Structure 1
Amino acid sequence: MAGRYFAPRVIALLAHPRRLRLVLAGAVFAGLVLAAALMPATGEILGKAARFVGVALAAEIARMGAPSRIFSAIGARSLEIFLGHQFFIAGAGVMIVALGGPGVATGIVLTPAISLVAVAGSVALREVLGAARMDFIYAPPPPLAHHPSRGAVGAAQG
């Protein structure tokens, strides 16, 4: 019945190569996650494969319109996200263990949610620290900081 009524829409959706790759990568990712959950003996191998396919899926999503802008914004703030996300992930892990521990279904739902909270929380933390004039936390140590050569500065000033 679904094929009878929705086939033209599905064909139109998949006619674009990028959408087709996105759907295929999503289906493979979902299949690997499900297989890892149902076959514990092969879970480690399938879990690693799912991670690789997940990266390919994220790369494909990043090439699309609005997601591309989101990934660009995240990339522009990668230092503050890198430095701050661990606090939020650790806090979420403590809460999950305190509330009964993770399961496969819980992990599938919570992993994207925790990632979103970690990224947004890291950006918010950066803003709070900036407002408190604690920007030095995100600055490299003076010996590692980039200092333009005097010749380049003089040439740039003209």
Structure 2
Amino acid sequence: MKPQMEANPITRGLKMHSVVCVSTQQVPLGVLHQEVWVRDLAQLGKKHTRHKRPIQDKESQRWLTALLVTEQVILAQEENPPTGVEPIHWLLLTTLAIADAADVVQYLRWYSYRWLIERYHYVLKSGCRVEQLQLESAARLQRALAT
């Protein structure tokens, strides 16, 4: 391995591949698929051999995997909102199966909890400053995120 690659922070750490759905009005609708991995340090500096590797051994395989994810769409619109209140208009994407209206109601209930999850991630980023963590290994970073 080349010495400059050992110290290069760009080639180290956790990598993340996300597929995000965006409307034609450029409104983010949600994450369709996400995968986190660590690059094999033994493969660093071997760009000239990547064309010989099968697609399933390449990072680009993540695009193909994401294409196979099946999504369901739920459109929730409030028909009679209180006076002066903007009506609810949610377009939700889910990988969960929808068998009947009860499933839709349950998924909408879960979605209404979204702000709690958003606050959790806000605390991780702003309060715990997880994006600034620089630990010696991915395992240590994962343990730090779990606490």
Considering the TM-score relative to the shorter chain, is it more than 0.5?
no
**Which category describes the TM-score, using the shorter chain as reference length?**
under 0.3
User: 1 or 2, which has the higher helix percentage?
Assistant: 1
Alignment TM-score, normalising by the size of structure 1: 0.24
Larger-gyration structure (1/2): 1
Q: Which is richer in strand?
A: 2
